[in-house]
Amino acid sequence: METSKDSRDPVPESTIRELLTWIAYARDAAWAAKLAILRMTRGEDIALFGEHLREHDRHATELAQLVRAAEPRRTVPDEPQFLVRDALVIGALDRDEAVIAAMVGIEETRIARYEQRGRCPVGAPTSMIDALLERHLADARGRFAALRRRPVAPTATFRKGLAA
């Protein structure tokens, strides 16, 4: 019996499209994190968003590896796709606290997006994609918690009152 060189079942187009969408979300999130870094004045905030940027880039890379393994000739986005308005929102802000508040809301939206995704029924085998996106959801929850734990810096008005 002769077997083909590649005996894997083809990955459904719907799965590839879903992966490409999640890659685009991750690229958009990375871009928003870059913009947040540029707007921060505190070193701790810059470091926090640097961690977020690296995490979003890692997520996009992991998902892209799955697409390339399934369809080596498929074009995978390596730049933001602007599927969501996150970067536009962050780009329009210029104060640390406004950026932080916006990023808290953006992370809440990301968490909801992961949670709304269809999951495997309990007891069913988990696919590699499901396991990866579950880990990405856990990472989003961690980013959200880190943003919520961040100490609020005094406003300029409050600092002026202290100097008086």
The predicted-structure confidence for 31-55, as pLDDT tens digits, reads as follows: 999 999 999 999 999 999 999 999 9
> Tokens at residue 145, please?
């918690």
Q: Report if residue 27 sits inside a domain.
A: yes
pLDDT digits (tens, 9 = 90+) for 75-103: 999 999 999 999 999 999 989 999 999 99
Diameter of the chain measured on Cα atoms = 89
* Residue 57 DSSP SS3: helix
pLDDT band at 156 (very low <50, low <70, confident <90, very high): very low
In a domain, 162, yes or no: no
CATH of the domain at 57: 1.20.1260.10
Contact in structure between 11 and 70 (CB atoms under 8 Å): yes
Residue 112 has pLDDT above 90, yes or no: yes
Backbone phi and psi for residue 152, each to the nearest 5 degrees, phi listed first: -80, 125
- The answer to whether residue 141 sits within a structural domain is yes
Length of the chain: 164
DSSP class of residue 79 equals: S
Residue pair 162/154 in contact by the 8 Å Cβ criterion: yes
The total number of structural domains that make up the chain: 1
Identify the domain containing residue 79 by its residue range: 13-117+127-150
